[in-house]
Structure 1
Amino acid sequence: MSAIAEPPRKRQPRMEIEVRRVQVLDAALRLVTRDGYSAATMEAIAREAQLAKPRVYAAYPGRGPLLLALLEREQQRTIDALAEAMPAFTDDADFDTVLVAAATNMLRTVAERPGSALLLIAAADDAPPEVREYAANAREFARANLRALIEWGRERRPGLAELNPDLLAASLLAVGEQLMRMVATESDRYPLDTLTEFVAIAVEQLAGPSLRATS
């Protein structure tokens, strides 16, 4: 009696391509954060990922879509991490508490994922057009959220009413990006605890006493 042959196993190319995409994006992240967008060519990414160039093209059709996918992935990872610990803008919330918590959570996220942070604040001048547009929109989104926080806090911090909300939002964004760089690249010189303490004191001095303190 002859043995019954087993049916051939089905291949799972989808799982294979997803794993390859992770490898490719991780390699691109290392290149961009180390040497800038201009260094992240398809050939360089293939070498960094130790993959043949056709395999990189099989994962992503070109440099623009690849770098855009990378930026979207790292931004979503950061947003997800912040959303878990971000306090809500409720009537009972305190402006100082919300702003300090937002800044502290951001810096902690940067400490955990410095590569993601460096990518998000990296200059995209030498990136493909779709990446530059996405980066500009992401920065505008961050600025708009800061402005919304400022508008929400004006009733709680009388001193904020004397400051132009657009200029204040842009200033806070610039300071925040600098603090992110310090956490990601100079953690020995500027430990996380030192920076978060600085944020708490700076916010307290930002716009004078809160209504709660004066009531």
Structure 2
Amino acid sequence: MSPSTKRPRQPRMLLEVRREQVLDAALRLLNRHGYAALTMEAVSKEVDLAKPRVYAAYPGLAPLLVALHEREEERALTTLAGAMPTFETTAEFDDILIRAMTNLLTAVAENPTSWQLLLLPANDAPPQVRDRFETGRRFALAQLTALLEWGRDRRPGLADLDLELTAISLLAMGEQAGRMVLSEPDRFTPERYRHFARALLSSMVPLPK
């Protein structure tokens, strides 16, 4: 490489900032090309950092992937926890369920890169990666189950349902909604789902007047 074509000298940055940049670059590569294309060299090019600096952030691909999956799992759990409104005494079951769904789908629409890794994982994702995000699914299922139990005596018809199967079905519907928001964001918007959910709940078991 001639002196005129050398990589320009990069400014120093805090290690934690560099690590976040490296993780963001790895996430973009995974979503675009899958795990087979993910190498430390590819990450170096994506983030526009010399390889020694990438290795200074993460000493190899395995620890980089562990850090990436831990970060995205933590973000997902934080989002799921924040999406569920408080079960206030005066609150309506329908309002809480619809607000929780809308909050979550809005988060998906606003952060598609992160949620694509969770909801639309690459076909070559290793089994341990897919298993890791089961933590998020179990957490979401627990949230939905708690909501259904809270609403059992407040929403006509809930007491007659198998709440476990209802929670599992709602989770599956929510995951599919998230995938559609990611795949066709202009067509399937959180607002469209909000109107749909409200109409569906009203038509299935009307609230008492």
TM-score (norm 2): 0.79
- Structure 1 residue 69, shift from structure 2 partner: 2.4
Give unpaired runs (5+ residues) of structure 1: 1-12
Equivalent residue number for residue 57 of structure 2: 59
Give % identity. 54
Task: Assess if the C-alpha contact under 8 Å between 1:111 and 1:183 holds in 2.
Answer: yes
Give the equivalent residue in structure 2 for 1:143. Answer: 141
Q: Which moved more, 1:100-109 or 1:140-149?
A: 140-149
Match of 2:71 in 1: 73
Distance 1:165 1:66, change over 3 A: farther
Q: Indicate the residue corresponding to 1:48 in structure 2.
A: 46
Partner of 2:155: 157
**Partners of 1:129 and 1:58 in 2: CA distance:** 28
Contact residue 152 and residue 159 of structure 2 kept, 8 A: yes
Q: 1:83 to 1:167 in 2, by over 3 A?
A: closer
Q: Find the counterpart in structure 2 of residue 25 from structure 1.
A: 23
Q: Superposition pairs for residues 173-184 of structure 1, below 5 Å? A: 173-184=171-182
Once superposed, what is the RMSD of the aligned Cα atoms? 2.7
How many residues end up aligned between the 2 structures? 198
Which residue in 2 is equivalent to 1:188? Answer: 186
For residues 91-145 of structure 1, give each alpha carbon's deviation from its aligned partner in whole angstroms, at most 9, with x where no partner exists: 2221101100000111111121111221222347744566444312222111222
Query: Whose Rg is larger?
Result: 1
What residue ranges of structure 2 are gaps of 5+ in the alignment? 1-11
| Partner secondary structure for residue 90 of structure 2 | coil
Q: Report the 3-state secondary structure (helix = DSSP H, G, I; strand = E; otherwise coil) of the residue aligned with 1:158.
A: coil
Q: What TM-score do the two structures reach when normalised by structure 1?
A: 0.77
CA contact (8 A) 2:80 2:140 kept: no
